[in-house]
Amino acid sequence: MDGLKIRVRTTDGTDATYSLRPRVIVEFEQKYQKGLAKLIAEEQKLEHIYFLAWSAMKHNGRVVKPFGPDFLDTLEEVTLVTDPSSESTEIA
């Protein structure tokens, strides 16, 4: 998942981009019981994107509300961003 980031704009005007580090990816996969790549490619839901935003913010030192309605109310826009210049280290 090299080069995959998440851009988050919140209601307080913060606009930040976070790398999807291993800790974030593992937390996501444990919650949804499927691989991140599979869910993004085949079964993507907005909940998945918002959870990634929450986890990435939390693991980058941002103080966030517990995942749920109160956290979701702080979001303006969340998008997945890929960095095409990043080389993949995935092994086939």
Q: How do residues 73-89 score in pLDDT, each as one tens digit? A: 999 999 999 876 655 54
Residue 57 dihedral angles phi and psi, to the nearest 5°: -65, -45
The per-residue pLDDT of the chain, averaged, comes to 90
Residue 28: its pLDDT value, please? 96
Cβ atoms of 3 and 86 within 8 Å: the answer is: yes
pLDDT of 1 above 70: no
81 three-class SS: strand
pLDDT of 2 above 80: no
The domains of the chain are located at 4-82
Q: What is the pLDDT of residues 30-55, one digit of tens each?
A: 999 999 998 888 998 999 999 999 99
Task: Count helices and strands (H / E) in the chain.
Answer: 4, 3
CA distance linking residue 69 with residue 53, whole number of Å: 14
